Amino acid sequence: MEYIAFPANRRFDFTAIGRLCIDLNANEINRPMEETVTFTKYVGGSPANITIGMSRFGMKTAFIGKIANDQMGRFIEGYLKKNDIDTGNVITDNTGAVTGLAFTEIKSPRDCSILMYRDNVADLKLNAEEVQEDLIADSKLLLISGTALAKSPSREAVFQALEYAKKHDVVVAFDIDYRPYTWSSHEETAVYYNLAAEKCDIIVGTREEFDMMERFDRNPERDDQVTASKWFDYKAKIVIIKHGKAGSIAYTKDGASHRAKSFPAKVVKTFGAGDSYAAGFLYGVMQGWTLEKSMEFGSASACIVISSHSCSDAMPTVEQVETYINRSNAGEISNSFSF
């Protein structure tokens, strides 16, 4: 059964709007960051990672965002281009904003944390006037990411992108990607996440993220069906709720719920799991696969990324994901980690 119908004859399969930043990954790992001496630089940011993933899968992709007018910004733009991502709507800031940074700390494969630099960052300076209607009109799928809602004028840019998507029948996926820094209050967060989610066809988040969005609702049991049906009353067709080790469930408007099997992995760190899962899943949906097959493809994609040092750089190709699934099915990958 096809849950989502994508428009035909569009120049881009996939366009994302939101955060572009730099990951500085500790080279000396399995220790606290106080003892790390050197860092390696990668492009980061959840929507950037997903777009890179989609591009590696062969999709035609574009990005809507803002970069600092400095060496970090130019590095990001160069990396996107090298990955065949259209940067015609990647704007250079001229107000002295900086590039967001994420220093990663890997104390152990399961004890990872991030030290963020998010003050005065360029990505949150994108404004509504800078969003190109023609680009969205020429896309099949628009991905929005929650962090871009955290502050004006980026917040308004996302709402304007949603308006264009509605006008031109573009399918919208919402990666909730809630990060508490930058937001002023929990109330503010809940209000804008809800206003955005009303306008989306596919919503992906953790149970905790949906709890945050239900701050003003009455769902004391934290019931997935209550959560999903709220959004089906608006525009959503698929709502994926992630339950950590218990796995993810995709709810659909027809009342069904869908689960995928998980894969073993040799985990280096957990960063990037969600992004590669999202890329793999959305790729599957766009191929017209069943939700189960799409979720399985997402899981295998995530396993590849968490077995690696980087997020963006490690995004796999379709062949790599298929090989991983085959090797796993053949029992060749032993360490276990499930999504």
State which residue, 187 or 332, has the beta carbon closest to its own copies. 187
List, in order, residues 6 or more apart from 231 with CB less than 8 Å away: 197, 198, 200, 203, 239
The single residue among 11, 168, 182, 191 that binds its own copies, judged by CB under 8 A, is 191
State which residue, 159 or 232, has the beta carbon closest to its own copies. 159
Q: By CB under 8 A, which span of 1-9, 30-38, 55-63, 276-284 interacts with its own copies?
A: 30-38
Residue 207 contacts residue 235 (beta carbons within 8 Å): no
The single residue among 169, 187, 208, 332 that binds its own copies, judged by CB under 8 A, is 187
In sequence order, what E strands does 109-196 have? Answer: 111-117, 139-145, 171-175
Cα gap 156→127, rounded to integer Å: 7
**Which bin fits 101, alpha (ψ -120 to 50), beta or left (φ > 0)?**
beta
The single residue among 7, 153, 247, 264 that binds its own copies, judged by CB under 8 A, is 153
Minimum distance, C-beta of residue 240 to its own copies, in the bound complex (Å) = 23
State which residue, 39 or 289, has the beta carbon closest to its own copies. 39
| 128 touching its own copies, by CB under 8 A | yes
| 72 touching its own copies, by CB under 8 A | yes
| 232 touching its own copies, by CB under 8 A | no
How many residues comprise the chain?
339
The single residue among 192, 210, 251, 297 that binds its own copies, judged by CB under 8 A, is 192
State which residue, 180 or 331, has the beta carbon closest to its own copies. 180
Tally Cβ neighbours within 10 Å of residue 92: 14
Q: By CB under 8 A, which span of 67-75, 201-209, 243-251, 299-307 interacts with its own copies?
A: 67-75
The interface with its own copies within residues 295-334 (CB under 8 A) comprises none
Residue 221 contacts residue 233 (beta carbons within 8 Å): no
Q: What mask, x for binding its own copies by CB under 8 A, covers residues 82 to 121?
A: --------------x-x--x-x-x---------x-x-xx-
Q: By CB under 8 A, which span of 24-32, 219-227, 254-262, 264-272 interacts with its own copies?
A: 24-32
The DSSP secondary-structure symbol of 245 reads G
Cα gap 16→139, rounded to integer Å: 10
State which residue, 38 or 334, has the beta carbon closest to its own copies. 38
Cα gap 169→98, rounded to integer Å: 34
Q: By CB under 8 A, which span of 44-52, 54-62, 154-162, 275-283 interacts with its own copies?
A: 154-162
The single residue among 11, 74, 168, 179 that binds its own copies, judged by CB under 8 A, is 74
Identify the CA nearest to 89 among candidates 23, 59, 52, 133.
133
- Structure tokens of 309? 């040092």
Residue 338 contacts residue 265 (beta carbons within 8 Å): no
| 188 touching its own copies, by CB under 8 A | yes
Cα gap 172→54, rounded to integer Å: 15
Separation in Å, CA 42 to CA 23, 76, 77, 154, 314: 5, 8, 12, 23, 10
List, in order, residues 6 or more apart from 46 with CB less than 8 Å away: 18, 19, 145, 147, 175, 177, 274, 275
| 211 touching its own copies, by CB under 8 A | no
Minimum distance, C-beta of residue 194 to its own copies, in the bound complex (Å) = 7
Residues near its own copies (CB under 8 A): 24, 27, 32-34, 36-41, 70-72, 74-75, 78, 96, 98, 101, 103, 105, 115, 117, 119-120, 127-129, 133, 152-153, 156, 159-160, 163, 181, 184-185, 187-188, 190-192, 194-195, 216
